[in-house]
Each structure stands twice: as C-alpha cells, then as structure tokens.
Structure 1
C-alpha cells in the first residue's frame, strides 16, 4: 500500500477516534477547561497526529495511549464529582479580587493580575468604576464574577414589590426557510397558524431566515433579504394575543387543580375573559 494512502486511512481513523473520545469527555468550551483538561486535550491531539503520520509498525500504540488518557481524565472527573478536595486540586480555588469595595492587592499578585487586566475584566461586565463593585471573585476558569453595590444594582420588579409570572423561552419555529414542527407543537401552535401570521406580515416562508414566537404568541421574523422591511407587531394585536394567552392559562390552571372551588373560580374567570375578548376583538383587529 502506498504511504500516502496509508497516511490518509490512518488520518481518517484518528479523526474518528478523536471525535468519539471528545464526545466522551464532554462539550466544554476551551475557556471552561481546567488546566488538567487543557493538557489532556493537547496530548490527545498530539497522539492523534502520531497515529496519522507514524509509518512504523507501532502506530497503534498511539491509540492505546489516547484511550488511557481518556480513561484517566474520566476517572478524575468522576472523582471531582464526589470530592471537594479533588476539585480544589485539579481545578483550583476561586480567588477574591475585590471585597467590601476594596481591591485585594495580595490576591492580585497571587494570580499575577495587573490593575489594567482587572479593570478590563470589570469593563467586560459593563462596570467602569471599581468603586461600584461590592465583591469580585476570579473563578477557577479564569472568569471574573462581579457583584455590584446595592445602589448600583439594576432595578427589578422584585425591588418594587411587583409579582410577575415566569417568562417562557422563545421558540424558533422557522430556520433557513424551513418550518420547525417540534417547537411549534411545544407552544401548542401549528402550521396553519404560522401561515396566517406570515400572511399578515406579507412575507413568504422561503424568505424567512429565522422566525421566533415569544411567550405571548407574537411572531418575529428576520428575512434573507435585508432590504425588505418587516412590519412591526401592532400593539393592539399584541394585546389581543396577551388576552388570549391569559384565557388559555386560566383554562390550564383549572384543569390542573384538584380543588373544586379553585377549579370553578378558574373556569369562571376564563369564561369572563372569553366574553371580554369577544367584545374587544373587533376593536383590536382594526
């Protein structure tokens, strides 16, 4: 067999083995790898190159070494799941950089971080003044987590004593001009509804690069042709969708509860809301 054919076959074999071993080790990003995991990745990559290019009869030993590295790495990960000491040993401990608004210079020196690098990490978190930080810690991955002082934290409904319902993640129902049936079914919609909404927007399914439906049942689309402007959702239409969602939620709550009084209350509220929707719908669809 010619050398180039043998190298090509070994390369394909090494790629296949490397893919399998990578799937076994998990799908962390490079920035999330510990030092040992980083070394393991580099070593397995080098061994794969050895298997591909070594023309001697011992090339298969590279596969043995790759397997051993993978097994050892998996063993260490399992040990880390059960032992805090093992996690501290292989991943390292987090280091406090700012505490009570004061920069910990000794810890900066310990991690060999300059003031410029610290401020860069703060700016990545949209913090431009060190005085605005109550607590900052360097994680074992190298990322810096920041807690702002009370007066600089963003205002939330909780601060105002407002109770809000849970927000559901938007579902991507169109990708690359193709309808995704599973996300549609997840939110209780179908292709007929989607066709109706696209018709309202005046766009063709073939021209939709991405289409998403939010928790209020509102469809947002991005087109392949950026020159075409998509009409923004009307406030009246969004209000009608919200009312219908509230009605559906009340019906669902009524079906899921076992207490008879509560069930009747949900059903009464749902019917009352249904009547209201019937009265205001002609005004909202103008």
Structure 2
C-alpha cells in the first residue's frame, strides 16, 4: 500500500512537471514538430515515467534530470528564435525537391529521400504527375509544400463545362538510370519505343535519365540527372552574418 502511495505522489510530481514544461517550452502542433523536438519530447516523457515508477532509486535525481532536459529544450528554443543560423543547424531548412516539373535528384540524395517517397508525398497532395508541379518544397518537419503550375491551379474542366477524361496513374519506366521492363510491357511498349522517345528529346542514353514515367493517356514524363534549368532558385536561409 505504501509503495502504491509513493507511485501516486511521484506520478503527480511527474505529471504536473511535464504540464508546466510543455507550457513553457512551446505550443507547436504535432505536425510542426521537427525531429529534434520529437526526440526531446520522447526523452522528457521517458524521464517522467522513470520518476513515477522506478522505486529502486530516489525521486530527486530523476526530477533534476527532467528539469535539466526541459531547461535545455527551452534554452535551445530561444536560441533558434533569436539566432537564425542555429535554427538552420538544429532544425534544418526548406529544400526545393521539384522545380519547373524537374526532380532535383541532388537535393533528394542530400536529404536521404527516395523517388518513391517523393511520389507518395505528391500523391497525398492529389498530384499524380510531376510535370504539373512548379515547385515542391521539403519542409524541415518532413512535410511537402507544393505549388502547381498556373495551368494546373484549381480552375477545373467542370468550371469551363468541358468534359475531361481520366489520365490514370503513372508507372515508372526508368528509375535511377535503369529501365523497368515490367512496366514497359504493361503499356505494350518495348525498349526500342522508349529509345525513340528519348531521342526525340535529345537524350542519347538511358543512363542520362534519373526518372521517367508514363500514364495511360500516353503522357511521358522524363527527368534527367543534369536538369536543364535556367536560373535555379535557392530558398535556403541566408549564409551570414552569423
């Protein structure tokens, strides 16, 4: 019975400590949390749980550790607010992963992202064709912000009393310089057809292509390793003074 009472008291201490720390550290929504914030929250919660249930040790070391981690979290939050370079280092910065319908493969690699993950995020936005995207930006919290090209913005064929047919879902024909023959056969195409289509766009070899897809409507999307973009945009944070 005495142990149960101790657990109740320690749980109350841990609970209200967490409540106070959560109010002090910030009010970011779960969707806005960075990976660092997420790990910090888990660690502090784990310490509060140990404070409540670890009866083999005294409570005050757990509580001191809890206060220390919460205080450090608060200090780091203030630093990232006042010092932009620290925010860039700790929280990351937005990165353009699609520009003018072209996939920025170098940006994907630097952020350890695969094409399949990018395509999944685009589909979550209701976009099944990369060529419709003007800009896609990977935010520090892992979410994808998408700006469609002007002709793909929300003026629908229905608004214009135009009957539109479905373009279907695109399938990969080339992935990281390699031909996906199974998908070619699905569209009743062969390598010769694909080579001709590439040559039409001045592409001599499949190894130049980072990603290519085809939809049932016959629209072929091609993205090269070396994208032919003029005046690429950089939305990264400023580089100084620090």
Q: Is TM > 0.5 for Structure 1 vs Structure 2? A: yes
Pairs aligned (count): 156
CA RMSD in angstroms, aligned pairs only: 1.8
Unmatched segments (≥5 aa) in structure 1: 157-286
- Match in the other structure for 2:40: 40
Q: Return the alpha-carbon distance in structure 2 between the equivalents of residues 96 and 22 of structure 1.
A: 32
Q: Return the alpha-carbon distance in structure 2 between the equivalents of residues 152 and 34 of structure 1.
A: 31
1:17 aligned to 2:17?
Answer: yes
Aligned residue runs from structure 1 range 106-255, under 5 A? 106-155=106-155
* SS in structure 1 at match of 2:55: coil
Query: Cα deviation per residue 1:256-286 (whole Å; 9 max; x = unaligned)?
Result: xxxxxxxxxxxxxxxxxxxxxxxxxxxxxxx
1:26 aligned to 2:26?
Answer: yes
Please report how far the alpha carbon of residue 56 of structure 1 lies from its aligned counterpart in structure 2 after TM superposition.
4.4
- Match in the other structure for 2:168: none
- Match in the other structure for 2:62: 62
1:3 aligned to 2:3?
Answer: yes
Please tell me whether the aligned partners of residues 10 and 59 of structure 2 are also in contact (alpha carbons under 8 angstroms).
Answer: no
Give the stretch that moved more between structures: 139-148 or 100-109.
100-109
- Greater Rg over alpha carbons, structure: 1
Indicate how the Cα distance of structure 1 residues 131 and 57 shifts in structure 2: closer, same or farther if over 3 A, else same. Answer: closer
Q: Return the alpha-carbon distance in structure 2 between the equivalents of residues 141 and 6 of structure 1.
A: 39
Structure with larger RCO (C-alpha < 8 A, sep 6+): 2
1:76 aligned to 2:109?
Answer: no
Q: Return the alpha-carbon distance in structure 2 between the equivalents of residues 20 and 137 of structure 1.
A: 35
Unmatched segments (≥5 aa) in structure 2: 157-242
Please report how far the alpha carbon of residue 86 of structure 1 lies from its aligned counterpart in structure 2 after TM superposition.
0.7
Higher helix fraction (1 or 2): 1
Q: Return the alpha-carbon distance in structure 1 between the equivalents of residues 60 and 85 of structure 2.
A: 36
Query: Cα deviation per residue 1:177-228 (whole Å; 9 max; x = unaligned)?
Result: xxxxxxxxxxxxxxxxxxxxxxxxxxxxxxxxxxxxxxxxxxxxxxxxxxxx
* SS in structure 2 at match of 1:134: strand
Please report how far the alpha carbon of residue 57 of structure 1 lies from its aligned counterpart in structure 2 after TM superposition.
5.4
Please tell me whether the aligned partners of residues 35 and 90 of structure 1 are also in contact (alpha carbons under 8 angstroms).
Answer: no
- Match in the other structure for 1:97: 97
* SS in structure 2 at match of 1:28: coil
